[in-house]
Every structure is written in structure tokens, then in C-alpha cells.
Amino acid sequence: MKITNNIDKIGTLGLLITAIFSPCCFPLFAFAASALGLGSFELFGGWTMWIFQLMVLISIIGFIISYRKHRCTYPLLIAIPSGLLIFYGYHFNNSDYWTYFLYGGMLGLLIATGVNYYRNKLHGSCETCGTYNGKKVELKSTLTCPKCGHKKDEIMPTDACAYFYECENCKARLKPLEGDCCVYCSFGSVKCPPIQAGDNCC
């Protein structure tokens, strides 16, 4: 799998490693570090917080790249406020509780990484991506028959709409639900290429 599909995970893992191996800066992780015999160990020395913030930026860049692939805003809606929480806690909060903002932001980025992984998994790999009107779209969609529940992976066409589809299991002839333009929009795990590209359906 390409590294661009994992930048968010690399960033989130990096900031967690930075925090765990820097118990002086992140007291909440002191227990884990002590269990590893690193109670007073500082992995990056005076560079710890700069490395930590760099990992936050890398993680958010990864979420933006992923968004361009699956067009799901949920990971971004969690990740960006979480990143801002971290930067606020470190640069602008002068109270004794500034580390709590860091912990909250870390938790948010961890949740966003899980959501993003799920969304990427739903959309398969870029081996099944194609181009529609100059935009990258996912062509693989899993059709689920509403009659018998049979599932089958299909590659969607980019030059036509699939208005009818016959289930290979129960032979039911499927057609789009009201308001949908094709069987993929109604019964597929991924919408058709025109909808993914933000255009009107065919």
C-alpha cells in the first residue's frame, strides 16, 4: 500500500511514541514509560515538543489526502479541532492544566485515525480507482440485493449508468430507488462516479 494512504496513521503513531517516550512532558504516560524502564528517559531531548507538533501536522496532512480520496468529512471534522486543541494547549494556555488539552487532542486524533481507516477500507485501494471528468473516483462498489441479501463486488462504468441489475443469486431485477439515478446509488457500498465527482447523475 502506498505511503500516502497511511500518512495519518504515521503521524498519529509518531505523536503517541513521542508522548510515551517523553514522560517528563507527558506525565500521563509516565507509568507506561516506567514499566519499560524509561522513567526519566527523554527520547528527543529539548526537541520533544517540536517533534510532537510536527507529527500532529503530518497526521492532519494525511487526513486531508484521505479526504480527497473518499470525500468523507468526518475524520477531518475530528482531526482539525483536535490539532487546534493541541496547539492551543501548548502555545496559548498558561494554566497548570495545559497538558490536558494535549491529551484531549491526542485522543481526538486517535479517534479520527480509526474513522479514517474505516472509510478508506470501505473505498478499497486505488487499484480500483478511475477518472471521471478529470477527478479521481472509486470504481469498485459492493452491490447488496435487497431481496436475498446476496453481495457482489462490481466495477462501475464511467461512461454509462447502470439502471438495471440482475442478482446472480435470486435473479431479481433491481432498479434504482426513487431519487437515485442508478443501482449503485441505491444498493452499492459506493455511489456512482458522477455523484462521487460532485456532478449531476447521468
Domain boundaries of the chain, sorted by first residue: 3-122, 128-196
Write down the pTM of the prediction.
Answer: 0.52
pLDDT at residue 144, rounded to an integer: 95
- What is the dihedral sign for C-alpha 19, 23, 29, 35? positive
Helical H runs in the chain? 7-20, 30-35, 48-70, 74-91, 98-122, 183-187, 193-196
The grid cell for 142 is: 459492493
pLDDT of res. 173 = 95
Q: Distance between CA 202 and CA 197 in Å, rounded?
A: 12
- Tens digit of pLDDT per residue, the chain (202 long)? 455 567 777 877 877 777 766 656 666 665 555 555 555 555 556 677 888 888 889 888 888 888 877 778 888 899 999 999 989 988 888 888 888 898 899 899 889 988 888 877 766 556 788 888 878 888 999 999 999 999 999 999 888 888 999 999 999 999 999 989 899 999 999 989 888 888 876 5
Q: What is the pLDDT of residue 44?
A: 57
**Amino acid type, 73:** T
Residue 96 grid coordinates:
497548570
Cell reading at 81: 479541532
Determine the pLDDT at residue 123. 60
Give the strand pairing for 129-132 and 135-138: antiparallel
pLDDT at 166: 95
CA distances from 147 to 153, 185, 187 (A): 17, 17, 11
Helix (H, G, I), strand (E, B) or coil at 174: strand
pLDDT of residue 1: 43
**Cβ-based neighbours of 118, under 8 Å, separated by 6 or more:** none
Q: What is the pLDDT of residue 10?
A: 80
